[in-house]
Structures are given as C-alpha cells and as structure tokens.
Amino acid sequence: QEEFFHTFNALVEDGRQVIISADKSPTDLEGMEERLRSRLGWGMVADIH
C-alpha cells in the first residue's frame, strides 16, 4: 500500500489520469489504509452494473 500511495500521488501531481476498478466504493474497501481510500474518492466514482 505504501508504494501504491506514492505512485498514485506522483501520477496525480504529474497531471496523469488514474483509473481504478473495484467491486466496492472507495469508502467500503476494507483492509486499505484510510489515506488510500481518501485518494481513490478524489475523482469520479461510478457504479457500473
């Protein structure tokens, strides 16, 4: 999680687009650090069926 945190920050700071897919919303991801859940919620979150 530490490496992903820093990679995510570097990409966002560089103006890059980051797309993440999961079966839950960022707030419902258990076992993930709060700082990562927070960053995953920065952008658009869509429920796709």
| Residue 34 domain-assigned (yes or no) | yes
This prediction's pTM: 0.79
Quick check: is 31 in a domain?
yes
Residue 26 lies in a domain: yes
pLDDT at position 11 is 97
Q: How far is CA 1 from the centre of its chain?
A: 11
For 2-45, write each residue's pLDDT tens digit.
Answer: 999 999 999 999 999 999 999 999 999 999 999 999 999 998 99
48, part of any domain? no
Q: Is pLDDT at 49 greater than 90 in this prediction? A: no
Domain that holds residue 36: 2-40
The structural domain count of the chain equals: 1
* Element of type H or E holding 43: none
Instruction: Please check whether residue 7 lies inside any domain of the structure.
Output: yes
Token look-up 């700082």 returns 35
